[in-house]
Each structure stands twice: as structure tokens, then as C-alpha cells.
Structure 1
Amino acid sequence: MSASTSGRRGLTLADAGREFWRHPTPWLFLVALTAAVIARVAVGGWRLGDALVPLAIAAAFPFLEWTIHVFVLHWRPRRIGRFTLDPLLARKHREHHIAPRDVALVFIPLPSAIGAVASAMVIALWLFPRTGMGLTFLVVTLTCGLLYEWCHYLVHTDYKPKTAAYRVIWRDHRLHHFKNEHYWFGVTTPGTADRVLRTYPDATSVPTSPTARDLHAIDAGGPAAVTR
């Protein structure tokens, strides 16, 4: 992590915010979100379905976050003939586990973030019955993306939790990084999908994993056979 956020005590939220906005993916999400809000207001035509969109996303997002973390970020490289299938997101996430305080590795890789924003735009404009409803989906989705980047970034700084909600996020994600990578997959929604999908144990009952900092280095076993 950069000198402005590492090795320092008493980091304030403003300090963390200044560092956050020095990186490109927050700006990508913010610019896309601003454009989506402007477009949604311009299109108008508000209906009940627009209120249902954020409710549906709120219900689905914890499970989407869990699924991406388990099956994409913790992807184990696979050989297919002479080729190795090892996506950028998985490679960068392994680097992130090796160096969790390296701020450059905290954010979604820019090519992947651009792809995610483009995919959300395609879904919004092509898969909804109304343009307005699709734009509502886009606004909520981009808001979730920006909040994900902020929460994940903040956990990896020296900023100390001051609220109960953030304390849970901070605790669970650090357990994932430093205790056992086979559990606590929720980042912005800790304990939600993890409880349903049985990856939210009592931390005192879980052994410290030898591969928490070096994913897939050895077959450590555990319930995350789904990551293989």
C-alpha cells in the first residue's frame, strides 16, 4: 500500500478517501454512474417495476458476490492441452492474497472493470422490457460496484472500524485473508450468503490455513473444494 495509507496509525476517513480517488476504477464507476443517473432522469416514465429492481438486486447481490469470489477470484488454473486457463481476475486475486496491503492489487483490474461496466450496460439496454427500467438496473448496479470498491479498499487500509456494520465487514474479510481463505467470502455483505452456503463458521473452530497468503500452493483441503 502506498505511503499515504500504510504503516500509519490514526488514519482518518478523509485520508483514506484521498487515496481511494487516486485510482482509476472508482472514477470509472463514478463517471458511468453519473451518466446512468442523468439518462434515467431524462428518460423518465417511472413505474412500480423501478422500485422492484433495487429490491431484487439487494436480494441477489450477496449470492452474486459469493459466487464471483468462489468461482472466479479463487479459480484454480487449469490445463487444457498446451494452454493454461487462468483469467486475469484470478491471477490478480492471487497476487492480492500474497500482498493484501498493496493498494494497487485491492481494486478490480481496470480491464475487468471496463468489461463489467460494458456488460451491465448491455444487460440494461437489451434485457429489460423498458429503457427506464433497464437504466434503473444500471444505476443500482453501478452504485453497488462503487460501494464494493470503497468497502474492499477501506478494509485493507489502516482505518479502524467505528461502526458496528463496518466492524463486521472488517473482521470477516480479514479472517478470509489471514485466517482461512476457504471461508468468509462476502465482502460488502458479510455473513449473508456465507451463512446460507455454510462458509461462515465460528472463527475459533477453524484452523489457520497455510495457503491463505498463497492460494492453491498445496492441497489444504477444507470445505472450499468448490474453489478447485
Structure 2
Amino acid sequence: MSGTLNNASLKTGRSFDLGKMNLRQLWVAYLTYPTILLYFALIVACIAVATHFFAGWGATLVSIVAVILVYPLVWYLLHRYVLHGRVLYKMKWTASLWKRIHFDHHQDPHLLDVLFGAPVTTLPTIAIITCPIGYLIGGIGASATAFGTGVTITCIYEFFHCIQHLNYKPRSAWIQRMKARHVLHHFHDEDGNFGITSFVVDRLFGSYYKDAKARPRSPTVFNLGYDIKEAKIYPWVMDLTGSPPRDRPDGARPDAKAARGTRHAA
């Protein structure tokens, strides 16, 4: 994607294909994306609330550390057992939710619009997890700190998630390894490597794998088990999509070789 076309996308709202963007274009798209701008505004608001109801440096720091420790575990559990679960698409009233929050992303991993979680689902989830932790530690001020920390981590996760789908080879060996593991999750076997920036929890739960040789390729890596057979029984996601589920994302086809090469970056 040329710089001119990418700028046009910013103005017209057209989708971004991360498989055709470079790092500079990602920064522009990321820093001007409405969801990210909303997150930034909420972080500033949390700082204001935390300052007004200051809980003390001890409670503030403990709240930050607690969220940093809890967040990867919560993300792992939600990613593995909810986003990759098969319950949501089997109910008509949750089918559109599952389609938006994860199915679309696996159908086309390079599409920026569905890579970011929708604020209507991400923010309540972050609040439910972080606010009670902070409140128990230090009341309203610490609760605001905890929520702000959760939103900040989400921004970091989202950026590195973009990097993992970007047509770009990171210079950092750590980011290369991180990207390689996530590419395996999307292009080899979805039942593993659920982390984004860290795979410590994957190791603890036995879902970590290093390369494609570690396990056979999953036939459901792009459709998460929602194949033609399932779509005939539970048609709501397919009806919303307007076409049958694909066994390979069209948007990723030109970059398939590059994706396979990234797997061996480690």
C-alpha cells in the first residue's frame, strides 16, 4: 500500500491491510485510530481521577503491579476458552459478538479494523477485571489506577498485535520471536500460542509450541471450527458474513510465504 493510498484510507475510513503496510504507516494508522484515541483519553481521565482520589504511592504501585500480573492470565483464559470457544456462535443472540471479536480476525488476520477489539466489549471487560482489584487495594483512586493500567496494557497489546500481522521484520530478536509464535497461532495451529507479548502462561498451561514441526497443521486454523458443516447447523455467523466460512483468509494469500518465513525467525 502506498503512502498516498494509506492517507486516503485515514480520511475515508477504508480498511487497512497490515499485510501491505510498513512500520511508519502503522504508526500513523495506530495513533489516529478512533479506538486507540478513546483509550488514550480514558488513560488521561484515569490519571485525573487517581490524582483526585489519591490512594498513596504504596496502594497505587501495588495496583499497577497487580494488574500487570493478572492481565496476561485473564487474556489467556478469555482468548482460549471464550474467543476460541464454540458456544457463542451456537446462539443467535451472541453469534454477531463472536463474529466481531474473533472470527473475522482469524478469517482475515491482516485486517486492522477487526484486529482491534470493539470498545463496547473490551472496556467493560477491562473494568470488571481491574476495578475491583484496585478498589480492594486502595479505594476509588487505586481503582482508577488499575483500570488505567489495564487500558494502557491493552494499547500496548494492540500495537504489538499489529506488528505481528504487519509486512515488516522487526529488528529486535525478542519481537521477532514473539511475532513468529503468533503467526503460528494464525497460520498453523490456533490451539496454542494464545499470548500476545508473552507466552509464559502458554508454557504454564501446556499450549506453547515453538515451530510448525512441533505439531500438525490444524484444519480449523482459519475458521476456528466454524466450517461449512457447522454453518449449516448454526447459520447466524454465515448469514452476517454473507458468504460461507473460508478455510483460508483471502487477505492473507499474497503474504502467505512471508508469514511462513516469519515462523522461522526464532
Separation of aligned partners in 1, 2:104 and 2:89: 20
Separation of aligned partners in 2, 1:215 and 1:188: 22
Cα separation, partners in 2 of 1:110 and 1:137, compared to 1, 3 Å: closer
Aligned counterpart, 1:70: 80
TM-score (norm. length: structure 2): 0.70
* Structure 1 gap segments, 5+ residues each: 219-228
Separation of aligned partners in 2, 1:211 and 1:159: 26
Q: Which residue of the other structure, out of 40, 53, 56, is the alignment partner of 1:30?
A: 40
Cα separation, partners in 2 of 1:117 and 1:193, compared to 1, 3 Å: closer
Aligned counterpart, 1:139: 148
Aligned partners of 2:194 and 2:202 also within 8 Å:
yes
What do residues 150-174 of structure 1 show as CA deviations (whole Å, max 9, x unaligned)?
1112222213211122212211111
Separation of aligned partners in 1, 2:88 and 2:154: 28
Pairing 1:159–2:165 present:
no
Separation of aligned partners in 2, 1:85 and 1:168: 38
TM-aligned CA deviation for residue 105 of structure 1: 1.1
Counterpart of 2:111, as a letter, is D
Deviates more, 1:111-120 or 1:140-149: 111-120
Cα separation, partners in 2 of 1:85 and 1:188, compared to 1, 3 Å: farther
Aligned partners of 2:170 and 2:176 also within 8 Å:
yes
Pairing 1:192–2:200 present:
yes
Report which of the two has the higher share of helix. Answer: 2
What do residues 161-209 of structure 1 show as CA deviations (whole Å, max 9, x unaligned)?
11122212211111100010011000122x2100000001242121111
Aligned counterpart, 2:232: none
% identical aligned pairs: 23
Aligned partners of 2:88 and 2:95 also within 8 Å:
no
Separation of aligned partners in 1, 2:215 and 2:93: 31
Cα separation, partners in 2 of 1:61 and 1:68, compared to 1, 3 Å: same
Aligned counterpart, 1:226: none
Counterpart of 2:109, as a letter, is P
Aligned partners of 2:55 and 2:139 also within 8 Å:
no
Separation of aligned partners in 2, 1:212 and 1:125: 37
Deviates more, 1:43-52 or 1:123-132: 123-132
**What secondary structure is seen at the aligned counterpart in 2 of 1:182?**
coil
TM-score (norm. length: structure 1): 0.80
Pairing 1:42–2:52 present:
yes
Cα separation, partners in 2 of 1:96 and 1:90, compared to 1, 3 Å: same
Aligned counterpart, 1:112: 121
Cα separation, partners in 2 of 1:160 and 1:115, compared to 1, 3 Å: same
Cα separation, partners in 2 of 1:90 and 1:188, compared to 1, 3 Å: farther
Aligned counterpart, 1:212: 221
Aligned counterpart, 1:54: 64
Cα separation, partners in 2 of 1:121 and 1:131, compared to 1, 3 Å: same
Counterpart of 1:23, as a letter, is Y
Alignment RMSD: 2.8
**What secondary structure is seen at the aligned counterpart in 2 of 1:215?**
coil
Counterpart of 2:202, as a letter, is D
Counterpart of 2:121, as a letter, is S
**What secondary structure is seen at the aligned counterpart in 2 of 1:130?**
helix
Deviates more, 1:70-79 or 1:124-133: 124-133
Aligned counterpart, 2:190: 181
Separation of aligned partners in 1, 2:77 and 2:27: 28
